[in-house]
Chains A and B, each alone.
Chain A
Amino acid sequence: MLRLEPRSAPSNLMVYLSPLLAMILMLVVGMIVFTILGQPPFKAFHAFFIEPINDWYGFGELLIKASPLALIALGLAVGFRANVWNIGAEGQLTMGAIAAGGVTLWLQDSTSAWILLPLMFIAGAIGGMLWASIPAFLRTRFNTSEILVSLMLVYVANLILSWLIHGPWRDPDGYGFPQSKMFEANALLPILIEGTRVHAGVLLTLVALVLAAVFFRWSLTAFQMRVAGLAPKAALYAGFKQRKTVWFGLLAGGAAAGLAGTAEIAGPIGQLLMPISPGYGFAAIIVAFVGRLHPVGIALASLLMALLYLGGESAQMQLGLPAAVSGVFQGMLLFFLLATDVLIQFRVRWISKTSTEAAS
């Protein structure tokens, strides 16, 4: 029978190979599923993975969808590396958008873009961080699980947004529909590529990717946080407080999510409405893991994840497949990745039956 045996050292090769393996497995299983559904597998494959990005516009869509995913995943990775489980980025994104949207509605008639846009992003980051500071405070002060608090706050954030756009911030000329006023041109991010929706928010994500790469590679804080995640006691010994780790991990995620929310409303959406995000905050968790909590991996994973979304839409239009296919694929991809990850620490060994019995 097959048995797993620990490797003496983690396999570097498998670190890179297992995401590829997971993708291949997902594709193979996906092809089988398509065949069962009576779809010619190659046509389905084409509709799902090629069709959405076969022109500039589609490619631009891939970028603007990957951008918030990568940005949030980077922020979350800071915490995840230290075992700080912020799974409420969706709520932090919403609060960031609310803060930035509030600044916009307040100042857009009197301020130029050069001042307004930076202010929006600062407000967005602060909004996200404030929302993330609630689980951070409760965790450090009262030892309350940050997983659950950050998650509960997602629902609360959405209800606050709902209240704002149904009430105080509703567009007075909007026939009572739950939306804010459209933002003026000075509150909108410039478009980078003519004919697409690629906005300057994508640049922000690129900068964040580089900064994160530097931070993870060289920063002492990052090292200490990683130690804190691997062995809390050793971290204490190294003079790094668990408390600081929790705060830093959550605030990084909150700031990233708040910035991503700001880029959404200042980019493709152009106003406050419900929903701001189609689940970026949750999908980013998968992106962070598939990307190995590493900037380069996260960039690639976010593109793949964005493609799965776009492919789901395209498969609907081309083949009449239901929208839910995307979720099935995303779930599968993560399953396969997590499963193949075992090969980093372990090798598969064939052990004959007799020796198995002897071992047990």
Chain B
Amino acid sequence: MDTNTLILMLVATVAAAIPLIFAALGELVVEKSGVLNLGVEGMMIVGALFAFIVAAETGQLWLATLVGALAGATMALIFGFITLSLMANQVATGLALTIFGVGLSAFIGQGYTSVALDGIKNLDIPVLSSLPVVGKLLFSYNILVYLAFAAFIAVTWFLYKTRAGLILRAVGESPSSAHALGYRVIRIRYLAVLFGGAMAGLAGAYLSLAYTPLWAEGMTAGRGWIALALVVFATWRPGRVLIGALLFGGVTIAQFHVQGLGVEIPSQFLSMLPYLATIIVLVLISRDAGVIRLNAPASLGQPWHNELH
């Protein structure tokens, strides 16, 4: 394999990893606040649809991206209301959110499968993108790719360098102590959940506006679930989310390359690789119970109400 092919593989890997980065970073913040939202897939696909609708109707890609994020956040609001205000089981509500989102998007999106869209184009930054190797590798993506990396930096900075981030983590560790210190636990969790929804919506918008770009029923095809796995895989650390997303994208692309090179293995087994790799890494990460205990938000998934504590 020559360098050129390798660079192309890496570029394809980054492009495949972006929706995972967006969604997993969002879910990371949600889980850091102590809430487990399994509805990422549902929020992502609703984001994908609404972004696509706005792009198709107005041609305004920025507006469309924004609406995608808002649509994801709106879905998250439903989740927030049921789990935070009404203290329902988070696992069940998240699952319902996915079923609802997939159904709703298929229902509303019927008229839009036929639309051909001029999607978000690669920037090909002048001068820089024509540099050898790094030009292709670093400077020729579409704007949402850079936004994903910016989001990574912002989330890392927010969680570890700001007071607000510290409070968020405290709420996830021990909502009762945070409450005792005078923080509005429910309000903080709402904000985290909304942020997670917006990020999942952005992931969807990336898929329908930039990656494929098209709208089709069920087009997110399980990426929301992978994003959830990445958060655990990353032991709730943004840096590892980034690495995990790239690794998963890499395995996906690599198995296609292996096929293209004509290797004699049933393709079904190659298609299993990304899932098996995820399981293996999950095992490696969580094998050391201490690591999980240190990093997992202590109150993850447990409903909380200030009158009960």
A contacts, CB < 8 Å to B = 4-6, 85, 87, 138, 142-145, 147-149, 151-153, 155-156, 159-160, 162-163, 166-167, 282, 285-286, 289, 322-332, 334-335, 338-339, 341-342, 345-346
Contacts and interface: CB of A to CB of B under 8 A. Distances in A.
Contacts of A324: 102-107, 217
B278 interface: yes
A142 B103 CA distance: 36
Contacts of B78: 335
B103 A331 contact: yes
B232 A159 contact: no
Given A156-B272, A335-B78, A85 B91 contact: yes
Contacts of B289: 143
Interface stretch (B51-59, B131-139, B189-197, B222-230): B222-230
A161 B89 CA distance: 33
A142 B286 contact: yes
Q: Which of A149, A156, A327 has the most CB of B within 10 A?
A: A327
19 contacts: A4-B305, A145-B232, A148-B278, A152-B229, A152-B275, A152-B279, A156-B272, A156-B275, A156-B276, A285-B95, A286-B99, A327-B100, A327-B104, A331-B100, A334-B93, A334-B100, A335-B82, A339-B88, A342-B86
Interface in B60-105: 78, 81-83, 85-89, 91-93, 95-97, 99-105
Given A142-B287, A324-B103, A335-B82, A341 B95 contact: no
A335 B87 contact: no
Q: Is the interface of B mostly helix, strand, loop or mixed?
A: helix
A338 B282 contact: no
A330 B101 CA distance: 11
Contacts of B217: 324
Given A147-B91, A327-B99, A334-B93, 9 more contacts: A155-B275, A160-B268, A163-B269, A324-B217, A327-B106, A334-B95, A334-B100, A341-B86, A342-B88
B27 to A, nearest CB: 12
Nearest to B307: A6
A148 B228 contact: yes
A275 to B, nearest CB: 14
Given A6-B308, A142-B283, A282-B99, A289 B92 contact: yes
Contacts of B225: 151
B130 interface: no
B99 A330 contact: yes
A36 to B, nearest CB: 12
Contacts of B93: 334-335, 338
Q: Is the interface of A mostly helix, strand, loop or mixed?
A: helix
Given A4-B305, A143-B289, A159-B272, A328 B107 contact: yes
Contact of A325 (B96, B102, B107): B107
B110 interface: yes
B268 A162 contact: yes
B292 interface: yes
A331 B275 contact: no
B266 interface: yes
Contact of A6 (B96, B107, B305): B305
B122 interface: no
Interface string B163-179: 00000000000000000
B212 interface: no
B162 interface: no
B259 interface: no
B92 A322 contact: no
Contacts of A328: 100, 103-104, 107
Interface in B1-53: 38, 42
A4 B289 CA distance: 38
Q: Which of B222, B228, B279 has the most CB of A within 10 A?
A: B279
A138 B266 CA distance: 27
Given A143-B292, A286-B96, A331-B101, A166 B87 contact: no
Contacts of B286: 142-145
B271 interface: yes
